[in-house]
Each structure stands twice: as structure tokens, then as C-alpha cells.
Structure 1
Amino acid sequence: MRKLIRSFILTLLVVGVVAGCSAKEDDDVTIGYFPNLTHIATIVALENDYFAESFGDDVNITTKTFTNGGLFMEAMQTKEIDVGTVGPGPLLNFYVKNPEYHLISGAVNGGAVLIAEEESGVDSLEDLDEKKVAIPVIGSTQDVMLRKALQDVDLATTTSGGTVELHAAAPADTATLFVQKSVDAAATQEPWGYILETQADGKLLLDWDEFAWGKESTNTVVAAHDTFVEDVEKAEAYLAAHKKAVEFIQENPLEAQEIVIRHIKDLTGKEIDEKEAEAAFNRLEVTIDVNEQVIQEMATISKEAEYVPSDDIDGLIDLSILEGLK
């Protein structure tokens, strides 16, 4: 009898622990993003309490920040984060290997430029032949954008049998590479393009509306894990807050810039110069729209670069919940 009682108590304890874990998971949402300007929609939604208002008091919101898309997607893969903003390059790279993720909204178009080092002799895309170009990380959105731009002038990277050499480096280190003449150009996001122009003798080769797909170049999107998308109520809450933040930014650009500058300083201790922020915002478009053709072309370019085994991204883009909010 005692054994039966002990067994029953043990069963209750185990069930209680499991139920407790499930309840905690059900009541938590972890949002991932980067502490930079192209993640403005997430930052504004956090700072203006749009997420808190949309999810309500019963949901505990936590955040995690990342320095690149690979780390972001690894965290989503291990379910450390549920949803957030990331570049489409890393998202589709992970999706084709394991289709557990979805692109559920746009966030930012543009925000990336191609800058040449002043003494590199590079005055056009064609001049990148046998030159070295810095990118944030292999497989990044800027990497894919550069490959698209090179295709348009019949050039390719050395990894694809061409003559243009890629050099992966953190955007913050690119100015030093320019000063040291270690690279000839850089495909980079803002505000690093502006910094290269004003502090490292860089010259603008392709502005944001000319680089790759121009104004349709998708820089940042909302990505979510399967389990989050399946919880329609939570997905609706997130996207309602995201949409509200995008509309706020569109209607109040200067105030939005101030919010992002303050948030990044509080988070990292680094203050973005107001002129850098202004120049960056002039080179991007905050939007919930997604150009699905551009995303597909990005996938095909990634396949050609052998970053992914396939460019079949059927099922990646799911805008149904977003469209239900309109």
C-alpha cells in the first residue's frame, strides 16, 4: 500500500512539474532582434509598449539580441526565441534544411549600400573584377545582394568560379579595413555605409535604391517558429504590435529615430550619431510588405552559391495572419 501511495505521489509530482513547465512556456514569448537601425520596428514596438499592450498581462515578454542572422536562427532552432526580426538570407538558409520557420511579415527594405575604398580604382560594378569586397558574414543578406549585383554585370565571386573575392568581417571593423587598404569595397548595412563614406574615405558605388533589387531589396523580415505561428492568438498579437510600430515610424520618423538611438545606447552603451541615424533612415523603407519574387531569387542565389541544397522555399512565406489584420 505504501508503495502504491509513494508511486501515486511521485506521479502527481511529475505531472505537476510537466504542467508547470508547459504553463511557463505557454505564458512566455521571447523576441529576438539586433540592436541596429534596420530592426527599428521591433525596437519601437518594445519602447512604446506595443508588444506588452497587444499580448496582455498574462504573457511574459522577454528579449534576446544578436549580432548576426546565423546566431539568431540557431536560437530559433533551439527554441530560445519564438519570433523576431532577421535578414531573409539566414532565414531561408535554415528553412531549406529544416522547414520549421516562417516569414510572416516584412520589416525593412533597403538599408544596404555598396561602398568602394577611395584609392581602390573601383568606380563601377565592373571594376570589382579581381577585387576584394567585405560582407558582414558568409550567407548574409548583404552577401546575397552583392551576388545579385555582380550577376547583373556578368561577374561572380571566387567561390562561384569568378574573380571577386569575399572577405567576411563585422561591419564595425570595415572602416579599419578601408584605412588599412585591406579590402577594395564593402556591401554593408547602415549606418556603416555612411560611416565608411564620412570616416574612412569611402565613396558610394551603389545607393540603397540601386543596389541589388533596389527599393524592393528585402533587408529585414519577421521570422517565427512553427509553434509560434500555430498559436494564432499570439501570432496575431505580435503582428498587430509590429504593424502598429511600422505605422508609427512612417508617421513619426524623427521621433522613431530618437527612440532607436536611445534604445541602442541603453542596450550597448554606444551612442549613434544623429547624422548617422538620419543618413541611414534616408536609405531604408519601413514596411510590412514582402516581395515574394525577391525572396525566391535570394533563395536561388543562395543555392547557386552552395549555401543551401535547394531553392525550394514553398511554405516559407505565410502572410495569412498579417493579411487578416488589414
Structure 2
Amino acid sequence: MLKKILFALIMSVFFIGIVSGCSESSDKEEGKGSGKQTVKIGYFPNLTHSATIIALEKGFFEEEFGKDVTIETKTVANGGLFMEAMATKAIDVGTTGPGPLLNFYVKNKEYHLISGAVNGGAVLVSAGSSKISDLKDLDGKKVAIPVIGSTQDVMLRKALKDVGLKPTTNGGSVELFASAPADTAALFVQKQVDAAATQEPWGYVLENQAKGKLLLNWDEFAWGKDSPNTVVAASQNFLDKKGFSASYLKAHKKAVDFIQNNPEESQELVIKHLKELTGKELSKEEVAAAFSRLEVTTNVNEEVIQEMADISKEAGYIPSADIKGLIDLSTLEEVSK
């Protein structure tokens, strides 16, 4: 009898230990047991993501989220990869192009645009050997873009439409050729493309290292100074966490203000950050030129975003141009008061 009682006691303690251990494990998974939660911030390792880079370099995210939140970062090469990472919860919030964001949104309403980040920062450059001097001269030519469906793709389609041209994929005469921006200079030298719609600093590189000619400057390309290059995207799961979006946007706004008020220091920090990420150091001249062709801002032109959706639908990238609910600037407005 005594043995049965002892056995029952031992099993009870063992069972309680298992339950306790499961509970602790569950709490840790949710960031509760340790009092820590994690925010996964995504961005691209390039100049048009300078707001995110500066917020990281200056510790603005840590300041706003506080010591009970761990900041993790993930860099990706393009907007499609960014949105795929967000879909798999590898990224909660960060900066990406509006094109890939709206492409994903029409299929899944879980992603939102909550602030602007950079306008401009993209140019249209023709190869010196192509003899192209006007946008209409792109008729029958091949133009490099970073990725099919990218923001620069949509911007190019807008520019072509304005002069009565269309890509070959839509019955027109201009061939779009997807190529990583870093590879475009070689394509110019090898005469494999006639022009490129690209982000900075690659536009500067094409001009100065590949004998390219600036066809449309950043304030002339597509929607000009209202052309959104980079925006802040957030998952619905992130937005549902109380206070998180406000903390992120406060840090983001600090970074935007810092860049606007301290351009030279900001450029130095961006050069340092990108060298640590990629092992390559951009020249001060390249970075200064690139910064002169973009505007770091929290502003969002909602009409432009809608037109981008319309163009993406015409291109066959999305089944619908209905993006109602995509843009949510309510928290930005609150933190900007």
C-alpha cells in the first residue's frame, strides 16, 4: 500500500513538472516567459533603404521598442523575396518597394503600407552605344529592369504609356529584361541592353562607369518626386501587437528627420553599414550623387499607389486593382502630431 502511495506521489510530481515545462516553453515561444518579444525587421542592402539603415545604426528601434523587445534583422535582394519572407513570418515589418507589396496584398489582405520611406531614387539611363536621346526612341529597344513586377518595372511602364509605347508582353514594342542592378553595367558594355530603369547608386554607376546617358532623372521618371521607391510594410500580425506599430514608426520618423538634418553623417553611416553587410565599400561620390536623386520622407501619395496597382493589373501581374485597405496611415498620423 505504501509503495502505491509513493508511486502515485512520484507520478504526480513528474506530471506537474511536464505541464510546468510545457507552459514555460509555450511562454518562451510567445516571448512571455522571459519578458522578451521579438520584432523581425527586413530591408534591402542599398541606399533607398537608408531610413531603416539609419534607424539601426543610431539605435532608434531599440530606444522606441524598449529593453523587453529584441530586434532581429533580415536583408533581402528584392521586393518579391521581402514579401515571401513576410508571408512566412521571417519578417514582421520593414522597407520594400510598393510594387511587390501591392502585388501580394491583392492576394492576401494581411499586408499593409503604413508609411512612406523614400521617393525617387530611380532613374532611366540609356546606353551610350544605343543613340537613344528621347523616351520615344525606346521603340523596338531592350530595357533592363531589376525584377519583373518591381517598382522600377511599374515606373517604366508608366513612362512608356505617357509616350504611347508598351512592353512586348502587352502587345507593344519595348522588351523588358530582368537583371540584377549590379549586373547592368556589364550589359551596357556588352551591348546586350539599350537602356535600364534602375535604382541608385546603379544609375550613377551606369553613367560614370558604363558611359550611359541619363534619359530621365529621378524627378522626371514616372510620377517625378511623388514616385514611391520605398515604403514601410507591416504584417497584420505585427499591427495587432499593441503599441508595436507606433514604436516602429517613431523610430522610422526619427531616422527620416536625422537624414534630412544630417545628410553627410547619414551618408557615412550608410556606407559603413553596407560595407559591413556586403564587404563592398561605396565611394562617397556615388553615395552623395545617389542621395541627391532621392527624397527621404514619410509621405505617401495614395493616388500614385492606386495608379501603380492599375498598371500592375494591365501588365497581368495582379488579377484586380482593388487595393482598398492596403494603405493605413492612422498610426503615422498619431506619432506625427
Alignment TM class, shorter chain as reference? over 0.9
- Computed over aligned residues only, the root mean square deviation of the Cα atoms, in angstroms, reads 1.5
Select 1:14's aligned residue among 8, 17, 22: 22
Q: Which runs of 5+ in 1 are unaligned?
A: none
My pick for the range that moved more, 147-156 or 7-16, is 7-16
Matched, 1:86 2:104: no
Alignment of 1:1-326 (within 5 A): 5=12, 9-23=17-31, 27-326=37-336
Task: Tell me, in whole angstroms, the C-alpha distance in 1 between the residues paired with 2:276 and 2:27.
Answer: 37
Task: Tell me, in whole angstroms, the C-alpha distance in 2 between the residues paired with 1:271 and 1:16.
Answer: 45
Task: Tell me, in whole angstroms, the C-alpha distance in 1 between the residues paired with 2:162 and 2:242.
Answer: 41
TM-score of the two chains, using structure 1 as the length reference: 0.97
Deviations 1:4-38 (A, max 9, x none): 73655544433332222112696101100111100
Task: Tell me, in whole angstroms, the C-alpha distance in 2 between the residues paired with 1:286 and 1:115.
Answer: 22
SS in 1 for 2:271: helix
Assess if the C-alpha contact under 8 Å between 2:111 and 2:233 holds in 1. Answer: yes
Deviations 1:241-292 (A, max 9, x none): 0001100111111111111011101111100011111110110000000000
Task: Tell me, in whole angstroms, the C-alpha distance in 1 between the residues paired with 2:328 and 2:270.
Answer: 28
SS in 2 for 1:119: helix
TM-score of the two chains, using structure 2 as the length reference: 0.94
Task: Tell me, in whole angstroms, the C-alpha distance in 1 between the residues paired with 2:100 and 2:68.
Answer: 32
Deviations 1:50-86 (A, max 9, x none): 1111111111101010111111111100111110000
Aligned to 2:4: none
SS in 2 for 1:13: helix
Deviations 1:168-226 (A, max 9, x none): 00000000000000000000000000100000010000000000000000000000000
SS in 1 for 2:129: coil
Q: Which runs of 5+ in 2 are unaligned?
A: 1-7
My pick for the range that moved more, 47-56 or 24-33, is 24-33
- Aligned residue type for 2:29: C
Task: Tell me, in whole angstroms, the C-alpha distance in 2 between the residues paired with 1:301 and 1:137.
Answer: 16
Assess if the C-alpha contact under 8 Å between 2:36 and 2:68 holds in 1. Answer: no
Assess if the C-alpha contact under 8 Å between 1:111 and 1:190 holds in 2. Answer: yes
Shift of 1:3: 11
SS in 2 for 1:148: helix
Assess if the C-alpha contact under 8 Å between 2:94 and 2:232 holds in 1. Answer: yes
Assess if the C-alpha contact under 8 Å between 1:232 and 1:321 holds in 2. Answer: no
My pick for the range that moved more, 176-185 or 251-260, is 251-260
Assess if the C-alpha contact under 8 Å between 2:51 and 2:259 holds in 1. Answer: yes
Aligned length: 326
Identity %: 66
- Aligned residue type for 1:91: L
Higher Rg: 2
Assess if the C-alpha contact under 8 Å between 2:36 and 2:70 holds in 1. Answer: no
Task: Tell me, in whole angstroms, the C-alpha distance in 2 between the residues paired with 1:94 and 1:274.
Answer: 36
Task: Tell me, in whole angstroms, the C-alpha distance in 2 between the residues paired with 1:26 and 1:309.
Answer: 41
